[in-house]
């Protein structure tokens, strides 16, 4: 396995507060890794450590074979794409001028800019000033800015939070395309649907600790119970364990015209999160 990102027992203190309490994660090349956690759990802190904006207090941090001490090198910076939770554009300038700046700073081709703009469906808006764009448009331009130099690793801090479903969908489509090109992506989110749709691996972060990690499907399976929930026409519900002893009860329910809904307990990622951490995601 070609590991692109390695965090080993990483801790981060802010004064007396311990924002990360020994985080260990390995991310393979081409993997989409999602950090899922409630507000204040340390998601942004983790991204900032990986992008070199913060130094770890303890532990080993390695990205693309490079240790965090040398994260400020130009070569490293060029291999990263970053969309932070507070990334911003130059409001007075047009979309074109904003992207031209970064195209020149990264020394990439204009054709690449045209292509990413087309990918997010904003090629018609290049002459608009950024201040005249909607929030969702700005976020898509920020994503363009983050990927126009074809980074090897992409860090996205809540790329779709507070965006409408249409914009979210277009961003997801773009990210899946980037993933298909072999880019390693690490994203943070509050949104379990986003994690399910995009991520190969999901890690639950709670109070600076990773409480569980795996594919979205494996996490759901790991936390499913053996219960069958039956809802009757009169509104009452019954929970029956799916065991051989309960076979006749279950069969009866299956053909009972009064039983309007029968379902197994297969939790959503959000429900799993709640089971693991005792917290709601949002």
Partner 1 sequence: MNTGRIMAIFEKDLKEFTRNAMLFTTILLPIILAFMYSRMGGEALPAMLVYLIVGVAFSAILCSGIMTMMAEENEKNTLRGLMQSPASMLDILAGKSLVVVLMTAVSLIISFLIMDVAFEWSIASIGGLILLALFFLNVGIAVGLTVDSVATTSVYLLPIMFIFGFTPMIEMVVPDSDHFIRRLTDYLPLYQNISLHGEETTVPLLILLAWTLVSFLYVTWAFRKRMSDEVK
Ligand X SMILES: Nc1ncnc2c1ncn2[C@@H]1O[C@H](COP(=O)(O)OP(=O)(O)OP(=O)(O)O)[C@@H](O)[C@H]1O
* Residue 55 touches which of partner 1, Mg ion, ligand X, none (Cβ within 5-8 Å per kind): partner 1
Nearer to partner 1, 146 or 230 (CB): 146
| Interaction between residue 167 and ligand X (CB under 6 A) | no
Q: Which two tokens stand for residue 180?
A: 């298909």
Residue-wise over 120-149: b if at least 16 C-beta within 10 A, else e? bebeebbeeebeebeebbbbbbbbbbbbbb
| Interaction between residue 40 and ligand X (CB under 6 A) | yes
Q: Which two tokens stand for residue 8?
A: 């080993």
Cα of first residue to Cα of last residue in the chain, in angstroms, is 34
| Interaction between residue 41 and ligand X (CB under 6 A) | yes
User: Minimum CB separation from ligand X for residue 16, in Å?
Assistant: 10
Nearer to Mg ion, 209 or 249 (CB): 209
Eight-class DSSP state of 171: H
Instruction: With contacts defined by CB under 6 A, name the span among 40-48, 88-96, 177-185, 256-264 that binds ligand X.
Output: 40-48
Distance CA(20)–CA(208), nearest Å, equals: 4
* Residue 37 touches which of ligand X, Mg ion, partner 1, none (Cβ within 5-8 Å per kind): ligand X
| Interaction between residue 160 and Mg ion (CB under 5 A) | no
Distance CA(174)–CA(119), nearest Å, equals: 6
From the list 219, 184, 222, the residue with the least C-alpha distance to 202 is: 219
Q: Which residues bind partner 1 (CB under 8 A)?
A: 51-55, 72, 74, 77-78, 80, 82, 84, 86-93, 97, 100-102, 104-107, 145
From the list 262, 272, 263, 261, the residue with the least C-alpha distance to 221 is: 272
Nearer to partner 1, 97 or 265 (CB): 97
Nearer to Mg ion, 43 or 138 (CB): 43
Write the interaction track for Mg ion spanning residues 56-85; mark x where CB under 5 A is met and - where it is not.
-----------------------------x
- Any idea which residue has 């395309």 for tokens? 177
Q: Which residues contact 128 (CB under 8 A, 6 or more apart)?
A: 94, 95
Nearer to ligand X, 2 or 17 (CB): 17
User: Minimum CB separation from ligand X for residue 101, in Å?
Assistant: 27
* Residue 40 touches which of Mg ion, ligand X, partner 1, none (Cβ within 5-8 Å per kind): ligand X
Distance CA(221)–CA(265), nearest Å, equals: 10
| Interaction between residue 44 and Mg ion (CB under 5 A) | yes
Distance CA(76)–CA(153), nearest Å, equals: 10
Nearer to partner 1, 72 or 264 (CB): 72
Number of residues in contact with Mg ion, rule: CB under 5 A? Answer: 3
User: Minimum CB separation from partner 1 for residue 258, in Å?
Assistant: 59
From the list 118, 144, 277, 255, the residue with the least C-alpha distance to 209 is: 277
Instruction: With contacts defined by CB under 6 A, name the span among 36-44, 139-147, 258-266, 273-281 that binds ligand X.
Output: 36-44
What is the SS3 assignment for 144? helix
Q: Which residues contact 68 (CB under 8 A, 6 or more apart)?
A: 49, 52, 55, 56, 61, 62
Residues engaged in binding ligand X (CB under 6 A): 14, 17, 19, 37, 39-45, 85
Residues near Mg ion, by CB under 5 A: 43-44, 85
């Amino acid at each position: 396995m070609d590991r692109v990102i390695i965090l080993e027992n990483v801790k981060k203190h802010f004064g007396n507060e311990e924002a990360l309490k020994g985080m260990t994660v390995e991310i393979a090349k081409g993997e989409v890794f999602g950090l899922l956690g409630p507000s204040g759990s340390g998601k942004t802190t983790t991204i900032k450590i990986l992008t070199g904006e913060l130094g770890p207090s303890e532990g080993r941090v390695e990205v693309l074979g490079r240790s965090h001490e040398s994260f400020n090198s130009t070569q490293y910076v060029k291999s990263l794409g970053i969309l932070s939770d507070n990334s911003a554009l130059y409001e007075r300038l047009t979309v074109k001028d904003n992207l031209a700046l970064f195209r020149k700073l990264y020394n990439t081709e204009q054709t690449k800019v045209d292509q990413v703009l087309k990918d997010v469906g904003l090629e018609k808006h290049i002459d608009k000033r950024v201040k005249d764009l909607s929030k969702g448009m700005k976020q898509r331009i920020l994503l363009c800015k983050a990927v126009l130099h074809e980074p090897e690793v992409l860090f996205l801090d809540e790329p779709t939070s507070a965006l409408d479903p249409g914009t979210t969908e277009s961003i997801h489509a773009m990210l899946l395309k980037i993933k298909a090109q072999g880019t390693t992506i690490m994203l943070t989110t509050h949104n379990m649907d986003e994690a399910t749709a995009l991520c190969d691996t999901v890690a639950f972060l709670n109070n600076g600790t990773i409480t569980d990690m795996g594919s979205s499907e494996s996490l759901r399976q790991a936390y499913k119970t053996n219960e069958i929930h039956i809802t009757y026409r009169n509104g009452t519900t019954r929970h029956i364990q799916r065991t051989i002893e309960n076979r006749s009860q279950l069969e009866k329910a299956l053909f009972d015209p009064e039983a309007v809904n029968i379902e197994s307990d297969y939790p959503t990622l959000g429900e799993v999160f709640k089971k693991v951490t005792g917290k709601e995601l949002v």
